Amino acid sequence: MAITSSSAIDMVEYCGEDELHVLAVDDSLIDRKLMETLLKKSAIKVTTAENGQRALEYLGLGGCENHDPALTSSGVKVNLIITDYSMPGMTGYELLKKIKESSTVKEIPVVIVSSENIPTRINQCLEEGAQEFILKPLQQSDVKNLRCQMMKINKSCSGRLYLGR
């Protein structure tokens, strides 16, 4: 079977970008450590942030939004953002909104985690575009599930998950 030039490029991209990468946002050190370990156990690379502001900075949204994309290119790929809902300063919901409003990173799926099972809160987040709402504490089964979802999304819109900073 002949390999066309376009599928050869796809193969190279896929092999090179095999590792999934999650940005985990939570003000609790214990929960950050937990999420990190859970994700690493599923062979997922993790970057943690202790609040929404730091998360936005990592995503290149911290400062002036009118940066020239040609000037920045960290090449970092983020497959998923997991954020706690209740955080001082900026809530997970507010972070979600900022991400969805940004032209650069709105394609990155966002999962909200919360210790509280409040239907209005859940609906609010889902309506704002959250991929999923998961009750804390996060379980290994949740991570396996997320991993599957990330793999699927990765295949369909890989290019749009890169951060240009």
Partner 1 sequence: MDVSQMQRQLVDYTASLFREGFLDDQFTQLQQLQDESNPDFVIEVVSLFFEDSERLVNDLGRALNQPIVDFKKVDAHVHQLKGSSSSIGAERVKNSCIAFRNFCEEQNTEGCLRCLQQVKQEYFLVKNKLESLFRLEQQILAAGGSIPLVE
Position among 11, 33, 74, 123 found at the interface with partner 1 (CB under 8 A) = 33
Please report whether residue 43 would count as binding partner 1 according to CB under 8 A: no
- Residue 30 Cβ vs partner 1, minimum distance, rounded to whole Å: 5
Number of residues counted as binding partner 1 (CB under 8 A): 16
CB of 115 to partner 1, least distance (A): 5
> 162: which DSSP letter?
B
Q: Which is nearer to partner 1, 79 or 114 (CB)?
A: 114
Which residues 82-101 are close enough to bind partner 1 by CB under 8 A?
86, 88
The answer to the question of residue 117 lying near partner 1 (CB under 8 A) is: no
Spatial neighbors of 100 by CB under 8 A, at least 6 apart, are 106, 110, 128, 129
**Quick check: 155 binds partner 1 (CB under 8 A)?**
no
Q: Which residue reads 């998950």 in tokens?
A: 161
CA distance 128 to 40: 28
- Backbone angles phi and psi of 24, in degrees to 5: -110, 125
Q: Is 42 in the site for partner 1 (CB under 8 A)?
A: no
Query: CB of 24 within 8 A of CB of 82?
Result: yes
Please, which residues have CB within 8 angstroms of residue 16's CB and are 6 or more apart in sequence? Answer: none
**Contact set with partner 1 (CB under 8 A):** 28-31, 33-34, 37-38, 41, 86, 88, 115, 136-137, 139-140
